[in-house]
Amino acid sequence: MIVSWFCKARPCFCLLVAGLAAFLLIAPREAAAIPAFARQTGQPCATCHVGAFGPQLKQFGRDFKLNGYVLSNGDDQLPHLAFGVQGSLTHSQTPQSGGMPTGFGPTGPNNNFAVDQVELFFGGRIAPEIGAFVQTTYNEVTNNVHWDDTDIRYAHGGALVGTDYVAGITVNNHPSLSDIWNSTPAWGFPYVAGQLAPGPANLTHIDNMLAQRVVGAGAYGMWNNWFYAELDGYQPIALPTLNALGIVPIAGATTYEGVLPYWRFAAQHDFGPHYVQFGTFGFEGNANPGGDTTTGRTDQFTDLGFDANYQWTGASPAHMISAHAAYIDEHLNLGASSLLVGANPKDRLSTLRTDVSYSFKDTIIPSVQFFNSWGSNDPNFFGTPGGTPNTSGFISEIAFVPFGKADSLTFFYNMRFDIQYVAFTKFGGVSSHASDNNSWYFNLWLIGAAW
């Protein structure tokens, strides 16, 4: 019934899915998420990923990324391309027709189908110590093709005074994209999310606010498989260049000045079947709200985060538990906004997220997350009904991944189906009617190797 309804609403998407599925069923190559990495390593998706589908990583996946995406089974191969498609149905608690993008809402203001992404990936080894992950995406909601996440790495491993190390350089376009843990914003839960449902109006800058709108480079290193450090500097991309890359900023979008530094420090350790990590990360910069530079002043932000990861692998692959937590505290000096809109001279915004997931045979993966954001009372800056950014709630999700294991009938393609429910206990500083923003999200993600 859902499939029939979806195909009536989005016939082009269904034709695309059918064509992709047919190709994948006859393609004589192995793949995983992303499939190019599986072709290069000869390993199924479940070797790197919890639940046999990215982006949540196991230790093998963290090491693969840390070492620059270059691990190989030794076979000579063509450049590693992969592609995927995601489609979804979003059901919101109350009608959303007033804020729907053009072309959405014909099946009712509470139900909206979308082609979330059509993706083309390059991933894997370029040279013995150089590798990359590059994504280009079509998004039906924004109706554009754009340059997506990109991480190009040089990595070198060795020993110093009898102690192993890995040191490298990363060039990327998304602060925290280079991270190997699933607690920082770029790779944190939820791994898929609806674009046609209400969400928090205010996020810290490091919380993916500058994804693909900056480009940066930095150095990182892991010492003794225990201590990790990374320092990066990002430069804002000029608006004409963003437009050329398919990233069309909203009219009056905030612009940024100078170099924006990002830092990351973490420690990890295994205790038998228990893996733990604790760390800190941060990001700061200067912003021109609305792109307005007439005041001669800027808004300054400093984000400081703390995170933790835990994995229990004692009964893997039949049973595995993963948990992640992150706290981000943003301090804002609003020199420009105080003049332009009458904001407070200083504000604060904090976010806490914790999630836990259980993986059964890398096939059925239920997860739950608690999220909470809170901050200063400043209606002129935050623009919420309650005057504060305070928003809290829960996300419950169950994912089904039938392929991607070593004993699968085939793992030359993969798919993931998610059912997700978002429930708010507070929204925009107001508790009453917060549940009006609740939503269901059904997502199907197919992915395979181009060759």
DSSP 277: E
C-alpha span between 292 and 9 (Å, rounded): 41
Judge whether 451 and 434 are in contact, CB under 8 Å. no
DSSP 435: G
Domains identified in the chain, total number: 1
Q: What is the CATH number of the domain that holds 243?
A: 2.40.160.10
Place 384 in a pLDDT band, splitting at 50, 70 and 90. Answer: very high
Place 223 in a pLDDT band, splitting at 50, 70 and 90. Answer: very high
Q: Which amino acid is at 54?
A: G
Judge whether 373 and 407 are in contact, CB under 8 Å. no
Q: What is the mean pLDDT of residues 38-62?
A: 88
Q: What is the mean pLDDT of residues 149-170?
A: 96
Quick one: pLDDT at residue 450? 61
Task: Quote the tokens at residue 352.
Answer: 């806490």
Place 45 in a pLDDT band, splitting at 50, 70 and 90. Answer: confident
**In 3-state terms, what secondary structure has residue 247?**
coil
249-299, pLDDT tens digit by residue? 766 789 999 999 999 999 999 999 999 999 999 999 999 999 999 999 999
Quick one: pLDDT at residue 187? 96
C-alpha span between 39 and 97 (Å, rounded): 44
Query: Of residues 272 and 42, which shows the higher confidence score?
Result: 272
Place 40 in a pLDDT band, splitting at 50, 70 and 90. Answer: confident
Whole-prediction pTM: 0.90
What mean pLDDT value characterizes the chain?
88
Please calculate the CA angle 354-359-363 and round it to the nearest 5 degrees. Answer: 135
Judge whether 444 and 87 are in contact, CB under 8 Å. yes
Place 13 in a pLDDT band, splitting at 50, 70 and 90. Answer: very low
314-370, pLDDT tens digit by residue? 888 899 999 999 999 999 999 999 999 999 999 999 999 999 999 999 999 999 999
**DSSP characters for 20-89?**
HHHHHHH--S---SSHHHHHHH---HHHHBGGGSSSSB-HHHHHHHHTTS----S------EEEEEEEEE
C-alpha span between 399 and 377 (Å, rounded): 38
Q: Is the pLDDT of residue 98 over 60?
A: no
Quick one: pLDDT at residue 30? 35
Quick one: pLDDT at residue 23? 39
Quick one: pLDDT at residue 371? 98
Which residues constitute the domain of residue 219? 2-449
Quick one: pLDDT at residue 19? 46
What is the helix (H) or strand (E) element at residue 89, kind and residue range? strand 81-92
Q: For residue 426, what are the CA distances in angstroms to 88, 98, 206, 339, 397?
A: 26, 21, 22, 30, 20
Residue with the two structure tokens 């620059």: 68
Judge whether 350 and 327 are in contact, CB under 8 Å. yes
C-alpha span between 405 and 316 (Å, rounded): 13
Residue 321: CA count within 13 A, CB half-sphere: 10
| Nearest residue to 175 via CA among 201, 138, 213, 145 | 213
> Percentage of the chain surpassing pLDDT 70?
86
C-alpha span between 35 and 446 (Å, rounded): 11
Query: Of residues 445 and 6, which shows the higher confidence score?
Result: 445
C-alpha span between 416 and 403 (Å, rounded): 9
